[in-house]
């Protein structure tokens, strides 16, 4: 009989999901909640044999799943989305307990988005074979054929959303998948397996193997049977994955960190800009696309900081399961120590703490919203991703200086620019980044591209870009005139 964990009244399996059944492991790792460090249970840790079994199951399931075509896969994926919806309350409460994500954000944002991730790509896949290119010589029928077995590796800051964001196009394209959830927050991915099973996803089409990146993840990405690797996470891990993928010539999509600029021009709506800047503390700052470097025109910097302080002081910090909470805990004790280290070294280097700067008294893994000023462009706190509720403040005198500061890191994921629309849009064209919001933040559409440049990643996700990655693109060429082979070049 399958063992189950009881997490706040939610029954969830701590075991792997391979070839349509639960598979335990003698080797486990402990899981605790970031809210109060309560032990949630022991989770099966994948060894090489579990990875081998999962990839083997996916390889066996792939031909029949691919042969269904987009039309045959869509009803199954639609049911998958429906089963996620039926478990909405469990997903919300589980990820809040497991990862510290705000319960309100799960209910109103994450779970609806997870369902949409599956449905939208299933629908969009129906259009993949309708592309024909006509030239003078031939008709080119462009096909998107399923690639094979896809490895999906997701991070701990948004386990459910990012898993479905990748699984949606991978499964809709006809691939069979092996998902490795984040070690620090694997439980909603386990619940995702229950939803897939109830929806009738054929055994082996979706497999889930839990474990650490250095062991389980390394075994997965080095498997020669993989056709694709999709990863969201840190730069060091991405380098290791890229090396493994390169050895086997497996295409890899790498969505990595950010150190994005939040630019406030002299002609900006200051109050609106400040209110949006306060959102950069969302999810305890554990958001890769947040604009953590505040670049503010010198003439308005004092007024902007005063407005921002007002919004930050009103932030409700507490238990993420409380609907009123706006700022919850950091995922893990090691991550709290990492954030503390960044702030301590910045202070030693001369940074001024305008507010925050240390742990919050609510709990051991809570950190105060922090703003650091007097930071040098070359300093660690400006150049490296903290992944905590820590922002930096720099000022500029003109647009050219703003651009120099914005482009002066090795990252290039996102960005925000507040100002008169035409002015902000013109400046945005000069910022080297994957995307940038004008007078807004967080507007996303599944049809639009998402991804970064430089150390922020390789490739794009979303819309046609996801299908291009998860498919083998084939050109079937039909000549418009009779063709006769000839060795003559005249």
- The pLDDT tens digits along the chain (490 residues) read 578 999 999 999 999 999 999 999 999 999 999 999 999 999 999 999 999 999 999 999 999 999 999 999 999 999 999 999 999 999 999 999 999 999 999 999 999 999 999 999 999 999 988 789 999 999 999 999 999 999 999 999 999 999 999 999 999 999 999 999 999 999 999 999 999 999 999 999 999 999 999 999 999 999 999 999 999 999 999 999 999 999 999 999 999 999 999 999 999 999 999 999 999 999 999 999 999 999 999 999 999 999 999 999 999 999 999 999 999 999 999 999 999 999 999 999 999 999 999 999 999 999 999 999 999 999 999 999 999 999 999 999 999 999 999 999 999 999 999 999 999 999 999 999 999 999 999 999 999 999 999 999 999 999 999 999 999 999 999 999 999 888 765 5
Residue range of the domain that includes 281: 261-438
Q: Count CB neighbours of 38 within 10 A.
A: 12
Residue with tokens 């909470």: 325
For residue 407, is it within any domain? yes
Domain count, the chain: 2
Q: Model's pTM, two decimal places?
A: 0.96
Whether 191 and 278 map to the same domain: the answer is no
What is the distance, to the nearest Å, from the Cα of residue 286 to the centroid of all Cα atoms in its chain?
11
Task: Tell me which of 255, 326, 385, 461 is the catalytic residue.
Answer: 255
For residue 450, is it within any domain? no
Residue 456 pairs with which residues in a beta bridge?
none
Whether 21 and 170 map to the same domain: the answer is yes
Whether 217 and 269 map to the same domain: the answer is no
Whether 194 and 310 map to the same domain: the answer is no
Whether 128 and 55 map to the same domain: the answer is yes
CB-CB contact of 467 with 128 (8 Å) = yes
Q: Which residues contact 119 (CB under 8 A, 6 or more apart)?
A: 77, 78, 81
For residue 68, is it within any domain? yes
Whether 148 and 19 map to the same domain: the answer is yes
Whether 124 and 265 map to the same domain: the answer is no
Query: What is the residue-wise DSSP string for 418-446?
Result: ESSHHHHHHHHTTS-SS--EES-S----T
- What tokens does 365 get? 């893994």
**Residue 437 CB-density burial (10 A; 0-12 exposed, 13-18 middle, 19+ buried):** buried
Q: Which residues contact 135 (CB under 8 A, 6 or more apart)?
A: none
Whether 35 and 138 map to the same domain: the answer is yes
Whether 213 and 83 map to the same domain: the answer is yes
Whether 411 and 434 map to the same domain: the answer is yes
Whether 280 and 390 map to the same domain: the answer is yes
For residue 271, is it within any domain? yes
At 42 the three-state DSSP class reads strand
Element (H, E) at 371: strand 370-373
- Any idea what the CATH number is for the domain that residue 351 is in? 3.40.309.10
Whether 243 and 274 map to the same domain: the answer is no
288 catalytically annotated: yes
């Amino acid at each position: 009989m399958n063992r189950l964990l009881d997490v706040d009244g939610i029954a969830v399996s701590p075991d792997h999901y391979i070839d349509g059944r639960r598979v335990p492991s003698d080797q486990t790792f402990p899981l605790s909640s970031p809210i109060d460090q309560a032990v949630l249970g022991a989770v099966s840790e994948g060894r090489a044999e579990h990875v081998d079994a999962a990839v083997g199951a996916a390889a066996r399931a792939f031909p029949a799943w691919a042969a269904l075509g987009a039309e045959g896969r869509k009803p199954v994926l639609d049911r998958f989305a429906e089963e996620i919806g039926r478990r909405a309350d469990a997903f919300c409460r589980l990820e809040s307990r497991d990862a510290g994500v705000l319960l309100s954000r799960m209910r109103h944002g994450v779970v609806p988005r997870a369902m949409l991730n599956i449905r939208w790509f299933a629908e969009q896949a129906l259009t993949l074979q309708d592309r024909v290119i006509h030239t003078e010589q031939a008709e080119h029928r462009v096909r998107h054929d399923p690639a094979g077995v896809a490895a999906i590796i997701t991070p701990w800051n948004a386990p459910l959303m990012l898993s479905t964001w990748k699984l949606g196009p991978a499964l809709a394209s006809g691939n069979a998948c092996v998902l490795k959830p984040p070690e620090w927050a694997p439980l909603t991915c386990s619940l995702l397996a229950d939803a897939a099973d109830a929806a009738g996803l054929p055994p082996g089409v979706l497999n889930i193997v839990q474990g650490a990146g250095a062991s389980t993840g390394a075994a997965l990405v080095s498997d020669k049977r993989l056709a694709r690797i999709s990863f969201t996470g840190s730069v060091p891990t991405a380098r290791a994955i890229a090396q493994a993928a390169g050895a086997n010539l497996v295409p890899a999509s790498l969505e990595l960190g950010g150190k994005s600029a939040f630019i406030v021009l002299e002609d900006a709506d200051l109050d609106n800009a400040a209110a949006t800047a306060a959102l950069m503390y969302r999810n305890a700052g554990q958001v890769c696309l947040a604009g953590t470097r505040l670049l503010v025109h010198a003439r308005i910097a004092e007024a902007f900081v005063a407005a921002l302080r007002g919004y930050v002081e009103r932030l409700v910090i507490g238990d993420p399961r409380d609907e009123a909470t706006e700022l919850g805990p950091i995922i893990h004790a090691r991550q709290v120590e990492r954030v503390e280290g960044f702030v301590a070294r910045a202070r030693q280097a001369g940074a001024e703490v305008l507010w925050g700067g240390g742990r919050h008294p609510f709990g051991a893994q809570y950190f105060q919203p922090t703003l650091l000023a007097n930071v040098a462009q070359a300093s660690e706190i400006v150049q490296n991703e903290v992944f905590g509720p820590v922002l930096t403040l720099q000022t500029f005198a003109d647009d050219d200086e703003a651009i120099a500061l914005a482009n002066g890191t090795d990252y290039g994921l996102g960005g925000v620019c507040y100002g008169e629309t035409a002015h902000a849009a013109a400046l945005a064209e000069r910022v080297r980044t994957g995307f940038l919001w004008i007078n807004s933040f967080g507007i996303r559409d599944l049809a639009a591209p998402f991804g970064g440049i430089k150390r922020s990643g390789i490739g794009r996700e979303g819309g046609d870009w996801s299908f291009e990655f998860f498919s083998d693109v084939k050109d079937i060429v039909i000549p418009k005139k009779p063709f006769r082979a000839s060795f003559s070049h005249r």
